[in-house]
Amino acid sequence: MPRYQPKEYIIANYRIKFPQIRVLDDQGKMIGIMSPREAMIKAQEEGRDLVLITPEADPPVTKIIELSKHKYQLKQKQAKARKNSRSQEIKEVRFKMFMGESDVELRKKRVIKFLEAGNKVRLSLEFKGRQISKKEFAYELFSQVTTLITEQGLGKLEIEPKIIGRKLIAQATPV
């Protein structure tokens, strides 16, 4: 089901109502500061549209460009922003209370790989049975991993190790 997105209106041509505007060509080079009427005449001579780019600037910035090309560029920019916002995932690496040294090294390498890829990493360790009475071993294991991360300059701790229910959780973000 598509989410409702408010329609974004583009102010162009004679709808631009400012006393003075900064005019750019389609490559982004500044033509000058002029009245909207002069800019509209210049745009019509080139067979293009006058499009308002930044109304908040002083004076507002407009561009002489084809309206369809401008809409296409906006759509591309929004798609890229959407893609970039999704790119950082949270990867989880699970540890066990009493693991072999080779397993710990393997998990450390996995944490490093995830951080180098630009993902956040959640470290988790679930206590089973009476293991919760030996919390200091779990904290020691997490401190090994976190010192490795910070010493190599790969990331920093976003969430310090803390116990939630029967789990010990920490989270690291890439630098």
Q: Is the pTM of this model over 0.95?
A: no
Question: For residue range 104-114, what is the model confidence (pLDDT) as tens digits?
Answer: 999 999 999 99
Domain 13-85 class, CATH top level: alpha beta
Q: What is the pLDDT of residue 2?
A: 57
CATH number of 90-174: 3.30.110.10
Residues of the chain under the 70 pLDDT cut: 1-7, 84-88
Tell me which residue of 36, 39, 37, 62 sits closest to 51, measured CA to CA: 62
Q: Where are the domains of the chain?
A: 13-85, 90-174
For 73, the token pair is 């560029």
Q: Are 146 and 170 in contact (CB under 8 A)?
A: yes
Give the pLDDT score at 89: 80
SS3 content of the chain, % helix, strand, coil (to 5): 40, 30, 30
Among the residues of the chain, which ranges form H helices? Answer: 36-46, 67-86, 101-116, 135-152
pLDDT value at position 109? Answer: 94
